[in-house]
Amino acid sequence: MNGEIKRRTNVVGIFPCEAAGTRLVGALLLEQHDEWAVCRRYMTMESLAVPCNPAGDPLIISAE
């Protein structure tokens, strides 16, 4: 993570103010958090369907 922050700040070079650097680093951290949250799924929709439907009837799971 620190290497990626260093790489992106080196590309920009000089920041006009401290807030600009904070926005760049904050955007990178937000992007990393979003990627982690999407990849970090503990249960699939199929595994959740079993406890919600104890009768064993087939459930239709929409992709909406």
- Count of structural domains within the chain: 1
Q: Is 61 inside any structural domain? A: no
What is the domain extent for residue 33? 2-52
Q: Is 21 inside any structural domain? A: yes
The more confidently predicted of residues 24 and 9 is 24
In the predicted structure, residue 57 carries a pLDDT above the cut 70: no
Q: Is 24 inside any structural domain? A: yes
pLDDT average, residue stretch 15-20: 73
The residues, any chain, with a CB within 8 Å of residue 8's CB and separated by 6 or more, are 24, 28
Number of H-type helices and E-type strands within the chain:
3, 0
pTM: 0.37
The more confidently predicted of residues 25 and 34 is 25
- C-beta of residue 28 within 8 angstroms of C-beta of residue 7: no
Q: Is 38 inside any structural domain? A: yes
- C-beta of residue 22 within 8 angstroms of C-beta of residue 5: no
Q: Calculate what percentage of the chain has a pLDDT beyond 70.
A: 25
pLDDT average, residue stretch 17-42: 73
Own/partner pairs for 2-8, CB < 8 Å, 24+ apart?
A: 4/28
